[in-house]
Amino acid sequence: MSTEINTKDQIAAMLSAKLNEFLDGVGDSYGKVILDELVTRLEYTITDFKDEVGEIMEQM
């Protein structure tokens, strides 16, 4: 991908697009509830990782 992703909104849009592509291949068997939970967990994981990296960088 040649475009830089700098903002939380850009990351969310990219993840949403990739998940939609994946789920198109899987079908409707998982449903919106599971997709929403997956997005919530991904957002939490990304935020947690960013915070941990920030703490490490401050210690350097």
Q: Quick check: is 9 in a domain? A: no
Measured CA to CA, the distance from residue 14 to residue 54 in angstroms comes to: 23
Domain total in the chain: 1
Q: Quick check: is 41 in a domain? A: yes
Maximum Cα–Cα distance for the chain, whole Å? 47
With a cut of 70, which residues of the chain have pLDDT below it?
A: 1-5, 25-31
Full residue range of the structural domain in which residue 45 is found:
27-60
Residue 8: the pLDDT is 78
Q: Quick check: is 44 in a domain? A: yes
Nearest to 35 by CA among 18, 11, 10: 18
Q: Quick check: is 2 in a domain? A: no
Residue 25: the pLDDT is 64
Residue 50: the pLDDT is 92
Which residues 6+ apart lie within 8 Å of 56 measured at CB? Answer: none
Please tell me the pTM assigned to this model: 0.54
Q: Quick check: is 36 in a domain? A: yes
Q: Quick check: is 46 in a domain? A: yes
Q: Quick check: is 20 in a domain? A: no
Residue 27: the pLDDT is 61
Residue 1: the pLDDT is 45
Q: What is the token pair recorded at 39?
A: 């997005």
